[in-house]
Amino acid sequence: DQWKALNDAYRNTPFQFNLERIVTYANASWGGKLDDWFETMGEMKAALRQGRYQDLNLYFVTGVEDYVMGRCTFPTALENQTTIPGEAPVDYPLRWFFDDGCLVNNLTIPGPPGPGKWPQFRQGKTAVHEVGHWLGLHHPWDANDHVYCMWDDGIPDTPQQWGPTRGPHEAHVPWDEAKDTCYGSLSSVDGPDNIHNYMDYSDDAELWLFTPNQTEEMYKTWMTLRTHRKFVKA
């Protein structure tokens, strides 16, 4: 099931997740097209979020467009700051708190194929990927620099790559275990692309690792940005 897939993926990291509760809500406005989803997710999270800033909230959403797999927030360093220069005053502490969490398309939950279900993404690893963002990890290609390979995720042991890996389910994309789209890069360790890394976009069957430095980054992020945080109104 999804919870087993999540804990199996994180078994070699400091993180294991305890399931506190499952709540089911029916609201037709929380879904639909991509623009609608992003517009209404703040409303949904404000209504449903539980726990503290260190408590993971996963929202499995139905009725979204098939190509939308997930979206997750990164931890913020903001706490008692209530304004951002150039913007109208906003209660940012509570805004960041209630926006925190991961949205995942329910079609990626482990299970047998069903109508509209992606067979290549039904091992529960979309949630694994999104939780990586929740713990501070970026995609290995980070800023989508598809020209010069100038950006990466800031992790020393994830080789830089030009963009996301697709396939092998996509017949027009040859599967290449030695794919190296930023050969000779100096910004991080040199080597082939991160095709088996949970933070890439390969099919679920091809994803099975976090690197040691990714694990260190997640733990550092957890200790500095997620534990002992208190979001209060100024």
Beta strands at 70-72 and 102-105: parallel, antiparallel or unpaired: antiparallel
Query: Of 108, 138, 105, which Cα lies nearest the Cα of 124?
Result: 108
Query: Of 134, 83, 94, 58, which Cα lies nearest the Cα of 230?
Result: 94
Annotated active-site residue in 43, 65, 87, 130: 130
d(CA 143, CA 155): 14
Quote the longest CA-to-CA distance of the chain: 54
How many other CB atoms sit within 10 Å of the CB of residue 109? 18
Strand partners for 197: 209
Residue 205 DSSP code: G
Q: How large is the angle between the packed helices 125-134 and 2-9, nearest 10 degrees?
A: 50
Element (H, E) at 104: strand 102-105
For the question of residue 217 being annotated catalytic, the response is: no
Catalytic residue annotation? 130
